[in-house]
Amino acid sequence: MYIEKVKSSRLTPESLEIKTFGNTFADHMLVCNYKDGVWGEAKIIPFQEMSFSPAMQAIHYGQACFEGMKAYKDENGDVFMFRPEKNFERINNSAIRLNMPPVPKEVFMDGLKALLDIDRDWVPPTYGMALYLRPFIFATEPMITARSSEEFMFCVITAVAPDYYAKPLRVKIADKYSRSANGGVGYAKAAGNYAASFYPTKLAREEGFDQVIWTDASTHEFIEEAGTMNVFVRINDTLITAPISERILNGVTRNSLINIAKHNGWKVEERPIKVSEMKAAHKDGSLKEVFGCGTAVVLNTFSAIGYPDETLDLADMPMEESWGKQLKKQLMDIQNNKSEDPFGWRVKVEKNLVNTL
């Protein structure tokens, strides 16, 4: 692995005290180019602008996908990734659906470890904060024929993720717009899926909501995702979430919460859940809580659900009653090495690893 370190770090104490996410990038990035049918050498270089042709395929035809992950620092200063194998599998599932070459496992795994080893000072020591990892693959061939690119770049950039107070969200059930359809790319973290969601989300915001609960494109009868999160509905003492399908993202946080809930002895059902079922449960008092989950927010409870005809309010529950809040704490404790890890999910980033790669 080729490594070029920065001459002097941009890291300051303020870097790790930021309050907004998305543009406080660590010192280094990983790049690896695909050309002539093969992936080249992975390189760690200073985070920097790159030069592209205005004909770069990704900005014309959207051949691009990404992953979202986080690295955590425990009280001893050790750095951990969380279930990176899941993200490795998923980025390649996304790549295949978009006709892009899968990234080799050693490029992905060793690249992430080396990058985190070099930039370990950028992983905030504060519980609740993390260094967000953004692996992505995009088409770089400079050509405007509407066909698959033959050149790609795999890249990893990282950004400090603050501990922002996740306020309960008001969500609106989609009855016109849709996020994905059978036979489409909804299960992939395809760049275009996100662009398609911004306008419906903006319209929902204008009506006083924070996010959209996506429903199936054919009938709008079934709950699929919320914003960029998977959704859980708790009716009495059963947690229900939509099953993984070609329309629904196979969320790592979703899967982790299901495992923790089952470990707690709680009942979990992965099955289609109707918009109308959630409404009926609200009416008869059996709807206890509804929440979304994902790497960025971990878990966000919902305080209101907007139906076309009425908005249903959900009361905030104390920790001892809320499965959502308990699950969030259990998950974060595992991620931050504050509790046992019965699932074997943490992956420690060894020090001075770079010299061995």
Q: Which residues bind its own copies (CB under 8 A)?
A: 20-23, 25, 29, 47-55, 58-64, 66, 96-99, 132, 134, 136, 138-139, 142-148, 155, 157, 159, 174, 176-185, 190-196, 198-200, 202, 217-218, 227-228, 296
- Contact yes or no for 291/327 (Cβ under 8 A): no
The secondary structure of residue 15, as a DSSP letter, is G
Residue with tokens 């009942």, as numbered in its chain: 267
Minimum gap (Å) between residue 90 Cβ and its own copies? 15
Minimum gap (Å) between residue 201 Cβ and its own copies? 8
Q: Of 102, 3, 112, nearest to 348 (Cα)?
A: 112
Nearer to its own copies, 125 or 184 (CB): 184
Nearer to its own copies, 193 or 336 (CB): 193
Separation of alpha carbons 213 and 125, rounded Å: 34
C-alpha dihedral sign at 83, 89, 94, 98: positive
Nearer to its own copies, 209 or 345 (CB): 209
Nearer to its own copies, 61 or 72 (CB): 61
Minimum gap (Å) between residue 245 Cβ and its own copies? 13
Minimum gap (Å) between residue 105 Cβ and its own copies? 21
Nearer to its own copies, 241 or 295 (CB): 295
Q: Cα angle at 239 between 237 and 243, to 5 degrees?
A: 155
Minimum gap (Å) between residue 120 Cβ and its own copies? 20
Minimum gap (Å) between residue 101 Cβ and its own copies? 12
Helix axes 252-263, 323-335, angle to 10 degrees: 110
Q: Cα angle at 122 between 117 and 123, to 5 degrees?
A: 80
Residue with tokens 């770049």, as numbered in its chain: 153
Separation of alpha carbons 301 and 171, rounded Å: 10
* AA letter at 67: E
Nearer to its own copies, 250 or 259 (CB): 250
Helix or strand (DSSP H, E) at 340? none
